[in-house]
Amino acid sequence: MLLSKKVQILVIGHNDNGCTLDHEKIAYEIGYELAKSGCVLLNGGLGGVMKASAHGAHDANGLTLGIIPQDDAAFANEFCDIVIPSGMGLTRDFLNALSADGVIIVGGGSGTLSEICAAYMYKKPMVAIRNTGGAADRFIDGYVDHRKNVKIIGVDSPKDAVKKILELITA
């Protein structure tokens, strides 16, 4: 019997430090929409945008996967159905990017930038929510560098983000 692979979407952005109520609301809605679309929500398994997006997917009966930097699954947020305790520290950002079929960005700091760069190097489709600040706003509708590997597409809402990332993956 041949099993079909589920689409895995990485949601990245501000962690507990820098995550606003607006970021949490947007991330929650993204997680909810991804679950309704039948996608697996993938993220770093910790707080902020990661926790809010997993919460949304969980509430929509979706599957959530958190790849955490620690070597103990107890560090993951309570909305992760599957936890991979990588023990890799911040280098787990590459594991997150390589595990994704596409990436949705909500704000973010240097950790988010690391994941954007990893996804960019491996030409993963990416969308970013406009006006969420940080790494998302820095690269919207542009490229990370001169290579122009992948254009980061700007969108205005969680529904638009999910719709657009699925279009980019299947294009």
Asked, for residue 20, whether it belongs to a domain, the answer is yes
Asked, for residue 1, whether it belongs to a domain, the answer is no
Asked, for residue 32, whether it belongs to a domain, the answer is yes
CA-to-CA dists, residue 94 to 10, 31, 38, 62, 106, angstroms = 11, 21, 24, 24, 18
Structurally, how many domains does the chain consist of?
A: 1
pLDDT tens digit sequence for 67-81: 999 999 999 999 999
Asked, for residue 2, whether it belongs to a domain, the answer is no
> Which of 14-18, 62-66, 76-80 shows the lowest mean pLDDT across its residues?
14-18
> How many Å apart are CA 60 and CA 47, to the nearest integer?
19
> How many Å apart are CA 150 and CA 57, to the nearest integer?
26
Asked, for residue 3, whether it belongs to a domain, the answer is no
Query: 64 and 79 in contact (C-beta within 8 Å)?
Result: yes
- H or E element: which one contains 21? helix 21-36
| pTM beyond 0.95 | yes
Task: Label residue 171 by pLDDT band (50, 70, 90).
Answer: confident
Burial class of residue 171 in the structure, from the number of CB atoms within 10 Å of its CB (0-12 exposed, 13-18 middle, 19+ buried): exposed
Q: What is the pLDDT of residue 2?
A: 63
∠ CA 10-12-13, nearest 5°, is 170
Domain region containing 55: 9-170
Q: Could you tell me the CATH number of the domain that includes residue 114?
A: 3.40.50.450
Backbone angles phi, psi at 97, to 5 degrees: -65, -45
Asked, for residue 80, whether it belongs to a domain, the answer is yes
Asked, for residue 76, whether it belongs to a domain, the answer is yes
